[in-house]
Copies of this chain bind each other. A is one copy, B any other.
């Protein structure tokens, strides 16, 4: 960080506003900062091909770690790494039956994000 260049309000506030009302409205409508950070974390989890393939695989059924590893052609450890990250943002949940863990998508939001996103990239 550059301690000599004391960049703060003085500098920023010299910027002229083109549309002051718009600026005001945007500032008032801005979501809570914590929510913005959480949302970024959620999207971060979705921003990986392996995890997206996990979501695709789980979008119509529950699957165990072992079968996910088969589908993705990666090790069980790697799958477990990713699932842990996904659990952290409530992308997936699981139920345990004996020693087998069956994973599913956590809620309908996840399917919506996946399908809307896929529509965005495939359309046009």
Binding site for B on A (CB under 8 A): 12, 15-19, 22-23, 25-27, 29-31, 35-44, 46-49, 52-53, 56-57, 59-64, 66-67, 69-71, 73-76, 90, 100, 107, 109-110, 112-114, 116-122
For A49, the chain B residues whose CB sits under 8 A away are: 36-37, 40
Q: A22-B67, A23-B71, A70-B17 in contact; A109/B117 too (CB < 8 A)?
A: yes
Interchain CB contact (< 8 A) of A121 among B42, B66, B73, B76: B42
Q: Across the interface, name the chain B residue whose C-beta is closest to A117.
A: B39
* A109 CB contact (under 8 Å) in B37, B63, B119: B119
Partner of A56, one of B18, B36, B110, B117: B36
